[in-house]
Amino acid sequence: MPTAAAAGTVTIGGDLEVNRLGFGAMRLCGPGITGPPADRVNAHAVLRRAVELGVQHVDTADAYGPEVDEELIAEALHPYPADLMIATKGGLVRTGAAGDWPQDGRPEHLRRACEASLRRLRVERIDLYYLHRPDPAVPYEESIGALKDLRDEGKIRHVAVSNASLEKLETARAIVDIAAVQNQYNLTDRRSQDVLDVCARDGIGFVPWAPLDAGALQPGGPVDRVAAARGVTPMQVALAWLLHASPATLPIPGTSSLGHLEENVAAAELELSGEELAELDALAA
């Protein structure tokens, strides 16, 4: 069985070396990323199998559930393997029956959120902690400054930012070392190309979310053709392309299915030809 190690490694923050292909735990929650999963035993099994398959980077957030996702990770994996990096986020809250995602980047909220994540994950220090999304009502410098304080207190090992423009990344880096950026990036949405280029240049991890945009799934389109010719899934093609896009990328495909998990991890071994890559690259045109 292929393992995540086939994709090689990336070093986060200068001291955390992890296999590049990780796991996004968001989809383990209930429908709409709200509430507990229908099958908690299955959720635990998926997390444990991910680690068995060489995943060393599990991504979550306090807003997933809310809180449920972090609890699932602790239930399934604590005490954690020494080589496992858990990344979580604060700065979004869940409100209303529709599961809205309003921002809250106030320093006092981020402190409470981080300390609550520490308890749910059962750790004394979070390996990688993101500001989930900039809050337009709070100066970005204040939000990042709060994460710097938490890092200086030993509650966060490395600070990261998510949904950040190049300008926001530069602002954050002027305040504290940024170990990773998590932005939407895939075959058809490369608005964060400038951020990815800076991450690759400066040794910052780039974690692309939404690895397979619906626009890439057109029947008979390039992704479909490559997948059919190779006898693989469209998701495997998308993940192989992301791994090729830059040595800084750390894809975190998520699923609640053991079968899909194994398919995703197998993408670490899929090498696309120059002709296939050129056809896929053209999707961004």
Task: Catalytic residue, from 64, 129, 130, 185: name it.
Answer: 64
Contact 200, 246 (CB under 8 A): yes
Contact 262, 53 (CB under 8 A): yes
- Distance in angstroms (rounded) separating the CA atoms of residues 135 and 261: 33
Record the tokens describing residue 191, joined without a space: 């608005």
- Give catalytic status of residue 64 as yes or no: yes
Strand partners, 180: 160, 205
Overall residue count recorded for the chain in this entry = 285
- Distance in angstroms (rounded) separating the CA atoms of residues 284 and 191: 10
Q: Which residues of 232-271 are buried (b: 16+ CB within 10 A; e: fewer)?
A: bbbbbbbbbbbbbbeebbbbbbbbbeeebbebbbbbbebe
Active site residues: 64
